[in-house]
Amino acid sequence: MLGLATERWTAVTGAEGHAAQVHALAAPAMRPQDALLVGNWTDPALLAGEMFDTVLADYLLGAVEGFAPYFQSELFARLRPLTRRRLYVTGVEPYVVARPADEAGALVWEIGRFRDACLTLAGEQHYREYPIDWVLAQLRKSGFTPVAARKFPIRYKARFVNGQIDMCRSRLDALGGIGQALIAHGEALRDRALAHVEAHGSLRHGFDYVIAADPV
């Protein structure tokens, strides 16, 4: 984004910590007219009266569950008044619903289910991704016309495996006996997943998607 020719840009996140990380990276290139905001899309005052040529909802739909549960069906209608020309939506096809038959898919599924269970036990909201067909339908209901959609196969590697298991471990340490049992389960899952990555180069499963939509 910082490398594109723009008159100004505004970024929104729901997490103070994430805002601090982004600001540390973007600050040297930020101009006086650029803005990095912390807010919640359920707040009608957020960006009220603003309009942008391009709006990028970068994995926003999946993240909404952590900050505004049950708001997903309203999200695109919320973004519609802000979009002058083009909305881009990025997301990942859900991979925690049904156990895949292949080994790589089953491992990704196990990691996702393990992560979500750990976050739930820790009292936190986990992300909830939505399938591309649902997103396309919601865009049409919300005043957009999808003009293009592409899928990009995912190749999960050691960084994904370790990142997901490590995120869980930091939360499980505080849960006593059940936490220790889950830590052991997570480490065994890590070993199996990394062994597959070592043998096959990656865990090949699922896809990310990008949708371009224009306001009606």
CA dihedral 37, 135, 87, 156 (to 10 degrees): 70
Query: Rounded to an integer, what distance in angstroms lies between the CA atom of residue 91 and that of residue 70?
Result: 17
pLDDT, tens digit, for every residue of 42-99? 999 999 999 999 999 999 999 998 899 899 999 999 999 999 999 999 999 999 999 9
Q: What is the residue-averaged pLDDT of the chain?
A: 94
* pLDDT over threshold 80, residue 148: yes
Domains of the chain by residue range? 99-124+158-200
pLDDT value at residue 1: 57
Q: How many residues does the chain have?
A: 216
Nearest-Å Rg of the Cα atoms of the chain is 19
Query: Rounded to an integer, what distance in angstroms lies between the CA atom of residue 174 and that of residue 122?
Result: 9
* pLDDT over threshold 80, residue 3: no
Q: Quickly state the pLDDT bin for 173 (edges 50, 70, 90).
A: confident
Q: How distant, in Å, are the alpha carbons of 36, 79, 113 from that of 202?
A: 35, 36, 19
**Burial degree of 63 (CB within 10 A; 0-12, 13-18, 19+):** buried
Model-level pTM? 0.90
* pLDDT over threshold 90, residue 175: no
- Report the percent of the chain where pLDDT is more than 90: 87
pLDDT value at residue 112: 96
**Burial degree of 134 (CB within 10 A; 0-12, 13-18, 19+):** middle
CB 11 within 8 A of CB 39: no
